[in-house]
Chain A
Amino acid sequence: MRIKTTAATVGLLTILMGSTAYAADKLTYYCSAQEDWCQLMANGFQDATGIKVNMTRKSSGETFAQVKAEGSNPKGDVWWGGTGDPHLQAAEEGLTEAYVTPMRGELQDWALSQAKSAGDRTIGIYSGALGYGYNTELLAKNNLPEPSCWKDLLKAEYKGHVQMANPNSSGTAYTTLATIVQLFGEDEGFEFMKGLHKNINQYTKSGSAPIKAAARGESTIGIVFMHDAVKQAAAGFPIKVVAPCEGTGYEIGSMSIIKGARNAESAQKFYDWALSADAQALALKVNAFQVPSNKSAPTSDKAPDLASIKLIDYDFAKYGSSDERKRLLKKWDDEVSTLPQ
């Protein structure tokens, strides 16, 4: 009798423990890519593992701010997507956790070099090259020549037709600034930014806003990542994508595990899963035209082929560091943004 009771109690307890353990399996997922992609990744992971996912989508800058604000008391587990710099910055400030995934063998070199420059605290999940796109209808309507290089954008006839994001608020625009500085050297690069400033009609807050404005016909040219421009073209807007002739910089969309994550085990599971070819194939379902980091993940024929674009040797370690970033942004603020247009 007694044994029976004990057995029953133990059984009941096991069930209770089991159920609580099951219920406790969850993941708080910060996502900095586009909404539908984030959603798809969350659902995909939930289906693949049964782990309940809580997702927040914010831009990479906002997410970085949140991770930093929560630094002494982290709420998130894994941070997926968004340009690499904030991830590198988080790594530099010790906000994220080092993790070496067993998936490394399947990844592209650039994904691994991203991990290397951050002491394994982050890793590349996709990449995309910087460029610009223009609204073909507006360009024709205003009798403007078709631009094909960075320097074309300085021409006086484009005055009031170019839009880019504000590097203070957007990772994309900071990548643009860093690319120009690396491409032309710092002095000539800043001369370029000053010349460009004359033609800019608005510095938007969000990185992809310029091409969205161009798509809607609210502006003519938008300096953005090329996959964002391709996406607008694929959505039916009259957008032509340009890979600048001088060469261009690129971003590595990254993923990090947050230090002190409450569900560290789920976070690692997500990390491994997100690097698999199956998970990266999901991007095509939502018209995300970035290049996946898993070598065997499928790519779209609409996606810009990184091999055919002249890419500069982008120094992520240097330009991702917060000191260099602060210095360049301050210089841009003082010397460029205050000029009359």
Chain B
Amino acid sequence: MRGSSPGNNARPVLIFWIIAGWAGLVLLPWYGVEDFWTFEWLFDGYPQDSDYAPLIFLAGQGEKPWLAPMLLPMLAAPFALRLPKNSSAYAKILIGSGAFGLAWLIAQGFGIGLRGWNYGWLEALFGALDDRQFGMGYGAMLLATAFLFLLTQGIAARGAINGDVFVVSSIGFVIAIVAAFVFFPIVRMLTAAFITDDGGYSAAVFFAKFFETRLWSLGCLTGGNRCGVAWNSFFLAVLVGLLTTVLGLVFALIVTRSGFRHKRLLRALTVLPIITPPFVIGLALILLFGLSGSVTVFVSDLFGIQPTRWVYGMPGVLIAQLLAFTPIAFLVLIGVVESVSPSMEEAAQTLRANRWQVFRTVSLPLMRPGLANAFLLGFIESMADFGNPLVLGGNFDVLSTEIFFAIVGAQYDQGRAAVLAIVLLGFTLSAFYAQRAWLGKKSYTTVTGKGDAGIHPNMPGGLAIPVYLMGAFWALFTVIIYAMILYGSVVELWGVNNTLTFKHYVTAFSVRFEDAGIRWTGSAWNSFWTTVQIAAIAAPLTAAVGLITAYLLTRQNFAGKNSFEFGTMLSFAIPGTVIGVSYILAFNVPPIEITGTGIILVVSFIFRNMPVGIRAGIASMSQLDKSLDESSLTLGANSAQTFRQIILPLMRPAILAALVYSFVRAMTAISAVIFLVSAEYDMATSYIIGRVENNDYGLAIAYSTTLIFVMLLAIALLQLVVGRTEIGRRMENST
């Protein structure tokens, strides 16, 4: 995508995309081919067979006549090569062919589906169509990409962003993929909420489902038996947000404002929730505090109290979420607490304020944006959490699990799932919006690279004691939980038969050495390798998309930048269950038909984790002085070269951060995954939930423990490569 240098009439970028477009027309199968990468289709009637034929063969045989007009723009585009770049005809040809091609491709994709015309009015207009088409394949994908870049080159030639082809193309590319994989599914889901039983659309259906008492009843406040699902989720999320913020602040204060020695250990603990598969915390809590849990039995024997099922429901979910999300609040707050300038605090001290006054009137107010940020993150995470309520919820239903059971339940109601998803999305988006509107850019400006020679004062004594107590209690609790997880994976049958055994590891991960090589006989290998493979494919793509977007956001100015930023960060606020439902609704039918493939998993991970890549990129790019780019540009490099040769090398830590984070998240994600796994692509987390369902806690915990160690290993390896301090900063940025 390098722009051509001025004065030279060669246009490698344009030539490349014209050739690519023609390759999409002539070489690659137009429609999706099952098992594409086995290349069996090459020997199975290619290129004539209409299942595998490229567009030009279809057109030549007179099949699918609606595809043929897409040849026109590709015939027109080469004429631009003869024209000078600054002529208006050059821009017109490129914009015309790109825009027409894209528009036609999209229109025919949506207009004609599996049963002919997709919409009644099309049939009324053109008459019945005795033909149909399946989902688009690689040929269509390549051609669509070519159209897109022809269009962006045309727009650049008209002078947008100083005629910078690289920047315009990047913007166009990011907009296109976000539109296709974030907005399109969400819109599909929104419309699904209005579909009636007989396939029509009606607002009444939506409102009937939306105003259901099961959703909004406030019975629990007025002494009734239960509150609506929406309120359950909301109250829980507020509590989790508040408590994780308090606990996160406690740890941040201990690390920065006390004589505590083992700070590094505390920081290491923060990695845990990121690498912990869902359910394990919930399972450990059941095994400790359930009706027959170790702690419950011990306490009831000691004091003669009748054991209860208190852990199932709100209390259990709350505790599990606190364990899981406190470190996230800590990560946010430690950056803020550290960046409160010690000079200010020292100034206050020299003005004879005592330590308590300094803390209350100087330090704490300066931390306010960080506190709000931590609260909102906790709120969003709690709303989106799926694994913990699933295991511990009892009769306490929350939105994320209700969505799942609306889809999979015996009542199978996509409309209800869509309505619930809309409510959930409403909550998280409001929080996301509040975070941005209210805190604005404040949170970024606290992270400056300015040298500040002062030292943070210690906490006032009155505060230090409760802080230490809380910190110690919580750290001990976390350690116990994880120790229990390890222990649970090596006992025969926890609570019934506590003999030590490696049985579960053997069942899951046994291998046999045969003449032909290693045979992976363990029951978990299949899902394990799939998970590693999918995560390894998704990670670099996530990092690439995230960093390019970050570059556009920090280094370029263009019209609509704010909405561009909002759009790209949006998927952070979309809970995984919502992504799962919307992907099922959007990508099970043509034009983009990818359910049941590995591609849909990769795509869902890219867009789930992209905001993290963006944030890491923004944070580290804002530390690079812009004069570096400017000198590169004045020395004659174009923006693509500058990005590749100046900015990328300086951003190694951010790149690695995005890589590690997206790899690890892809291994532990469950909420979206559970909707998208298929026979061939089963993921580790969905395998684990199957074991949990089957009362096979030993195997589930053993598998989870293995995953934890695999991910620790991955992180440790990367730490060796990048070095410790940079990893430390990465973690701050990555939230």
Interface residues in chain A, defined as those with a beta carbon under 8 Å from any beta carbon in chain B: 16-17, 20, 23-24, 28-30, 34-35, 39, 54-59, 61-62, 64-65, 68-70, 72-73, 75-76, 85-86, 138, 160, 167-171, 174, 201-203, 205-206, 209, 212, 215-219, 232, 236-237, 325-326, 329, 333, 338-341
Contacts and interface: CB of A to CB of B under 8 A. Distances in A.
- Chain A binding surface, main DSSP class: mixed
Given A70-B595, A329-B410, A218 B309 contact: yes
Contact of A56 (B292, B411, B677): B677
Interface string B647-680: 0000000000000000000000000000001111
B454 to A, nearest CB: 54
A72 B589 contact: yes
B411 A326 contact: yes
Instruction: Please give me the 10 A-B residue pairs with the lowest Cβ-Cβ distance, nearest first.
Output: A217-B292, A54-B679, A169-B409, A62-B408, A212-B695, A340-B225, A56-B679, A61-B410, A218-B291, A169-B405
B131 to A, nearest CB: 16
19 contacts: A17-B43, A54-B680, A57-B690, A62-B408, A65-B407, A73-B114, A73-B134, A160-B309, A169-B411, A170-B409, A202-B394, A203-B395, A205-B401, A205-B405, A215-B695, A219-B291, A329-B410, A339-B225, A341-B225
Interface in B283-339: 286, 290-292, 309, 312
B393 to A, nearest CB: 9
A75 B678 contact: yes
Nearest to A72: B114
A70 B312 CA distance: 35
Q: Which of B226, B410, B588, B682 has most chain A Cβ within 10 Å?
A: B410
Contacts of B312: 201-202, 218
A34 B679 CA distance: 15
Contact of B40 (A20, A65, A169): A20
Interface string B580-620: 00001000111001011000000000000000000000000
A230 to B, nearest CB: 14
Contact count band on B: 35 or more
Nearest to A71: B588
- Chain B binding surface, main DSSP class: loop
Nearest to A262: B34
B593 A73 contact: yes
Contacts of A202: 309, 312, 394-395
Nearest to A29: B679
B410 A168 contact: yes
A236 B494 CA distance: 12
A58 B694 CA distance: 12
Contacts of B408: 58-59, 61-62, 65, 169
A54 to B, nearest CB: 4
Given A20-B43, A65-B412, 17 more contacts: A23-B38, A23-B40, A24-B40, A54-B680, A56-B677, A58-B408, A65-B408, A69-B414, A69-B584, A73-B589, A85-B410, A168-B411, A169-B405, A174-B410, A203-B395, A217-B291, A339-B225
Q: Which of A30, A86, A205 has most chain B Cβ within 10 Å?
A: A205
A218 B286 contact: yes
Contacts of A64: 410, 412
A237 B43 contact: no
A34 B695 contact: no
B694 to A, nearest CB: 6
Interface string B392-407: 0011000001000101
Contacts of B523: 39
B729 interface: no
A65 B407 CA distance: 7
B2 interface: no
Contacts of A17: 43
A155 to B, nearest CB: 18
A28 B493 CA distance: 34
A17 B691 CA distance: 41
B409 A168 contact: yes
Q: Which of A62, A209, A325, A340 has most chain B Cβ within 10 Å?
A: A62
A58 to B, nearest CB: 8
B693 A206 contact: yes
A107 B593 CA distance: 40
Interface in B214-238: 214, 224-226
Given A35-B694, A39-B523, A325 B410 contact: yes
A236 B497 contact: yes
Contact of B115 (A72, A138, A215): A72
Interface string B108-140: 000000110000000000000000001000000
B495 A217 contact: yes
Given A75-B596, A216-B292, A329 B690 contact: no
B588 A55 contact: no
A170 B412 contact: no
Contact of B595 (A28, A29, A75): A75
Interface string B482-525: 00000000000101110000000000000000000000000100
B63 interface: no
B479 to A, nearest CB: 25
Contacts of B309: 160, 201-202, 218-219
A50 B593 CA distance: 29
A237 B292 CA distance: 13
A12 to B, nearest CB: 10
Contacts of A85: 410
A135 B289 CA distance: 18
B726 interface: no
Interface string B373-398: 00000000000000000100011000
Nearest to B597: A75
B630 interface: no
Contacts of A170: 409-410
Contacts of B43: 16-17, 20
Nearest to A209: B693
B687 to A, nearest CB: 9
Nearest to A200: B395
Contacts of B49: none
A73 B595 CA distance: 10
Nearest to A83: B410
A169 B412 CA distance: 9
Contacts of A54: 679-680
A56 B286 contact: no
B150 to A, nearest CB: 32
A323 B557 CA distance: 58
A218 B286 CA distance: 9
Contacts of B694: 34-35
A35 B394 CA distance: 24
Given A34-B694, A73-B588, A73-B589, A171 B410 contact: yes
A202 B694 CA distance: 18
A185 B590 CA distance: 48
A28 B286 CA distance: 36
Contact of A20 (B44, B286, B410, B680): B44
Nearest to B696: A35
Contact of A236 (B225, B292, B401, B493): B493
A169 B410 contact: yes
B593 A216 contact: no
Contacts of B414: 69
B215 to A, nearest CB: 13
Contacts of B682: 56
